[in-house]
Amino acid sequence: MFSSETFVPSGSFELAGDKKEKLTALLGTCIGLVLVDRKNNSGGLYHILLPEPAGSVPPGEELSFASSGLPIFFKAVLDHGAARENLQATLCGGALMGPVSFQDLELDIGGRTAEYVRVFLKKNNIPIVREETGGVNATRCVLNTETMEFSVANMRSEPAGHKTFQPPPPKHTDIEKSIALVKPIPQVALKITRLLRLGKTSLAAIALELEQDQVLAAKVLQQCNSPFYGMPGTVTSLDRALVVLGEVSILEIVLSLSVQNFFNMEEGGYSLMRGGLFRHAQAVAAAARNTARQSGVCDPETAFTAGLLHDIGKVVLDQYIRNLDQEFYRLHSEQTTGLAVLEHSAFGMDHQEAGYLLAKQWLLPEEIAAAIRDHHAPDPEKHAQLVSVVHIADQLAARFLTGIQRAQIDPRPLKTALLHIGLTAADLPRLVSSTPWGTYQQPDT
């Protein structure tokens, strides 16, 4: 029996320890490298995001790139008890993540990363005993630390037969009733968001608003004291938390904690893992804020909020997706029209429309609502820059945080979205490498 399963996010590695466990990497364009010494029962799994940085390596991101991370991983494996002469390598991942776009073919990130790894292994006289790279589908790669055996499985949903897709479509009124039942974002969170955007409020006023929601206030303090923020000592007051973390971090924490409650936390439906919808929302928010900063076309914190909320319509439709599950995703994998078109044909409404209705019900700003409504196909006439930022972030998260959500995103609007904010496909590696993905990849267990 395994004592646990440890997921290895991109830009990190795990070594085989004393526990019997599964080291698991969910790979799309990323490359998974396994080094094992079976004689000494030692080795590890490294999840590589990119071949090399667009410029200098960002501090703390050395493991994201094959160029800087491979020597670190190699040394760690040897220091952990493996003998160089016994090491064997396995490579996997590097998919184009169909449907294939011009960006995928032009950049070939997975192929270039795999080649970088091959050169490194050859230089260090480490034989590749197995390689499963390329293709257009995500893979789930697992190292069994008890036997030091490695397995690779295609993560594409398998067909559930060849029956005709004839779901009992919900009535429009059924979906509207479902929307009305979704618990809204706490008003305290929305008010704090407005106060921060005005830029004329004091930290004390924000703390006072937080104190109105005891549950949210307790969660904020708990989050502040988590290892991620590395506070020197325990933070026991909201005033202190605001001073230490600053406005941006507080906005992120408050919104994330508020949104987490209504995102479905179970496996299935839209998500491949428990908590997948929320993890994807967090990742898109981080990528949207970074893209807004890099392009300078819109407020980064507005982009963060829009990214966090872009898929709220899936909360409404998830219950209907679950009833169709495999058959729905079989059709999705066979069509090139995109998820929204298939949703509309099945339910009379796609998750963007459902999300827009929720946004209007919650009285969210129109630019946020527009990003929710149009994030799969940015409209140049309607908040084009913010919507384009969210669309790009959604594309990046779907490709680099594989395994969180099941649906593939139509890549065709990406070129237009990049043009809307003055970027090109050549800027994508820089956007990917400067986004803090690791925080949002670990599944709930």
| pLDDT tens sequence across 31-45 | 999 999 999 999 999
Token pair 């890549």: residue: 411
pLDDT, tens digit, 9 for 90 and up, residues 119-169: 999 999 999 999 988 776 778 899 999 899 999 887 654 444 444 444 456
For residues 269 and 321, is the Cβ–Cβ distance under 8 A?
yes
> Which residues 6+ apart lie within 8 Å of 3 measured at CB?
19, 20, 21
pLDDT at 14 over 90: yes
> Which of residues 197 and 377 earns the better pLDDT score?
377
pLDDT at 251 over 80: no
pLDDT at 105 over 50: no
Q: How far apart are CA 112 and CA 51, in angstroms?
A: 6
pLDDT at 102 over 50: no
Q: Which amino acid, 213?
A: D
Is residue 269 left, alpha or beta, with left meaning phi > 0 and alpha meaning psi from -120 to 50? left
- Write down the pLDDT at residue 324: 60
Q: What is the mean pLDDT of the chain?
A: 78
- Write down the pLDDT at residue 310: 92
> Which of residues 266 and 380 earns the better pLDDT score?
380
Q: Kindly tell me the burial class for residue 42, based on how many C-beta atoms sit within 10 Å of its own C-beta (0-12, 13-18, 19 or more).
A: buried
For residues 339 and 412, is the Cβ–Cβ distance under 8 A?
no
For residues 408 and 100, is the Cβ–Cβ distance under 8 A?
no
- Write down the pLDDT at residue 159: 42
Span 296-314, average pLDDT: 89
With cut-offs at 50, 70 and 90, classify the pLDDT of residue 442: very low
Span 343-365, average pLDDT: 84
The residues with which 46 forms a beta bridge, in sequence order, are 13, 33
pLDDT at 356 over 50: yes
Q: How far apart are CA 67 and CA 48, in angstroms?
A: 10
91 backbone dihedrals φ, ψ, rounded to 5°: -115, 140
Span 2-12, average pLDDT: 79
- pTM, full prediction: 0.72
Span 89-103, average pLDDT: 70
- Write down the pLDDT at residue 59: 79
Instruction: For each of the domains in the chain, give its residue range(s) and CATH number, in order of start.
Output: 4-154 (3.30.1330.200), 172-185+262-440 (1.10.3210.10)
Closest CA to 69 of 12, 24, 8: 12
pLDDT at 322 over 90: no
Span 201-214, average pLDDT: 77
Q: How far apart are CA 193 and CA 100, in angstroms?
A: 38
Helix, coil or strand: residue 320: helix
Q: How far is CA 315 from CA 43, 62, 164, 353, 354, in A?
A: 40, 36, 26, 12, 9
With cut-offs at 50, 70 and 90, classify the pLDDT of residue 430: confident
- Write down the pLDDT at residue 334: 53
Token pair 């669309």: residue: 391
Span 272-286, average pLDDT: 76
For residues 144 and 22, is the Cβ–Cβ distance under 8 A?
yes
What does R_g of the chain's alpha carbons equal in angstroms?
A: 22
